[in-house]
Structure 1
């Protein structure tokens, strides 16, 4: 009798274990399906219409439309997608070159970004908010965009910025440059003298390379003492004065850092202004 009871008891326990295991497996399968569905929905949402298949709703039922089905939604742009889906993001560096679909604004950057390369896109404007939280930036290269406007203070909150390239854009004026800038390139823009304020480079006492070639400058802007290489070729500069590079009131002044000045391709005849270069170690390259 005792053996029968023990056998019945263990059989009962075994059945309970089987039922519990089955219930757990059913529970996990159900939740696994929910997780897969959730991940699928997140993925579809993040694609933001980049794939041909589109998920839409009809009477609360999810239906997959064929690729040639009508879609009245506006086409997605680079500005709708996370930066690191469009660009190559490495530790401290973001590469966003010739992005497709078109990138028309400066992308949102990871906080630790030190180097940004966003060349040959269709960025039109730089706002004061684009870089305000990225204090680690050391180099920004926006060559070959459509930038025609830069808001005041756009670069003022970048204490580590050393290299800035805005070449091949549509700029007509420059903002004040950050203090630690070493190299600045604005070749091939539409800059005129009135668009380069006298204080644009006032704080840049470490600036070494200044490239302003292929613009529409009528005069040489204020050049910091630290500049060694100055490119002003192919502008509209028609004259220079004794204060352009030297100090007219100080005949003993020498400008030791300036090693290269290119002024070829300007209407100015440099031979008419011999007293303007007495402080230089080398004569400007240009028409004499």
Structure 2
């Protein structure tokens, strides 16, 4: 009777303990996890590896793939950057890159912000005719060869903000947005026809430069930022036309001239074709 009672109590207890052990083990073995659990396991594992790589021990040998005297630009782009289908993200790359990395031929969107790129040459984008957006904000670009963007027939958005440019190159005809805020541009560095042929341009950002005059602005521009330059005057032909009193410019919906020496109230006939007055100093 005692043996029967012992069997009835012990066997269920052993079975339950075994089940608990299997359940605990399944949490440690990736092959036994569900799909969502498996993804979480590998995600945590990868994060752990990345953390270990980011914090090497002081006595570990240097296993950097960059040879002595080499540059990060010598490495394959998709080792330095994040490459997704059609997009390349090279933002704040460490070690530093000083030139535009070689891009996969299907690249449509390049984000290479906050690096140390110094120059853009004609060969940098000559084979990447699929590019639609280039963002090079926050580099050290002081020179762009004149034909650097000439083959980019599909390019719509270009940002060169926060660089060291003193002059602009020729720009692609299909640009809809161009940002060159926070550079060193003076009026002599902007050719008279730089923007004239950009018939699709909607947003033009030229703030925080050293321009002495407003450049020729295409008809289709909606937003124009020229704040914090050295502009001292505007005239009737800056935005309107002196020989056409019926000329209107309804598309121009935002013009910023604040932070310039020009006193806009001295030029009342310069804005008659516009539906809004520029933001700026009037007295």
TM-score range, shorter chain: 0.7 to 0.9
Aligned 8 A contact 1:118 1:143 in 2: yes
2:156 aligns with: 162
Find the counterpart in structure 2 of residue 216 from structure 1.
210
Work out whether residues 180 and 207 of structure 1, in 8 Å CA contact, stay in contact via their aligned partners in 2.
yes
Which of 79, 85, 105 is the matching residue for 1:91?
A: 85
Give yes or no for contact 1:177–1:203 (8 Å, CA) kept in 2.
no
TM-score by length of 1: 0.75
Number of aligned pairs?
220
**Separation of aligned partners in 1, 2:172 and 2:238:** 23
**Structure 2 residue 103 is the aligned partner of structure 1 residue 109:** yes
Residues 66-85 of structure 1 aligned to structure 2 (within 5 Å): 67=61, 74-85=68-79
Paired position in structure 2 for 1:149:
143
In the alignment, structure 2 segments of 5+ residues that lack a partner are 1-55
Alignment TM-score, normalising by the size of structure 2 = 0.76
Matched, 1:120 2:114: yes
Deviation at 1:134, TM superposition (A): 0.4
Q: Distance between the aligned counterparts of 2:123 and 2:196, measured in 1? A: 23
Instruction: Write out the 4+ residue segments of structure 1 that deviate beyond 6 Å after TM superposition.
Output: none
Deviations 1:184-223 (A, max 9, x none): 0000000000001011112210000000000000000010
- Cα offset, 1:158, TM superposition: 0.3
SS in 1 for 2:95: coil
3-state DSSP of counterpart to 2:204: strand
Out of 169, 172, 197, the position equivalent to 2:166 is: 172
Structure with bigger gyration radius: 1
Distance 2:61 2:127 in 1: 41
* Superposition deviation, residue 76 in structure 1: 3.2
The alignment partner of 2:265 has SS state of helix
> 1:11-50 deviations in whole A, cap 9, x for unaligned?
xxxxxxxxxxxxxxxxxxxxxxxxxxxxxxxxxxxxxxxx
Q: Which residue of 1 aligns with 2:230?
A: 236
Provide the C-alpha distance between the structure 2 equivalents of 1:279 and 1:177, rounded to a whole number of angstroms.
Answer: 27
Consecutive unaligned residues of structure 1, counting only runs of 5 or more, are 1-51, 53-65
- 1:259 lines up with 2:260 in the alignment: no
CA distance in 1, matches of 2:193, 2:121: 20
Deviation readout 1:57-89 (Å, 9 max, x if unpaired): xxxxxxxxx938xxxx63432111000000000
State the distance in 2 between where 1:210 and 1:76 align.
38
User: Is the CA contact 1:114–1:138 (under 8 Å) kept in the aligned structure 2?
Assistant: yes
Deviations 1:88-114 (A, max 9, x none): 000000000011111000010000000
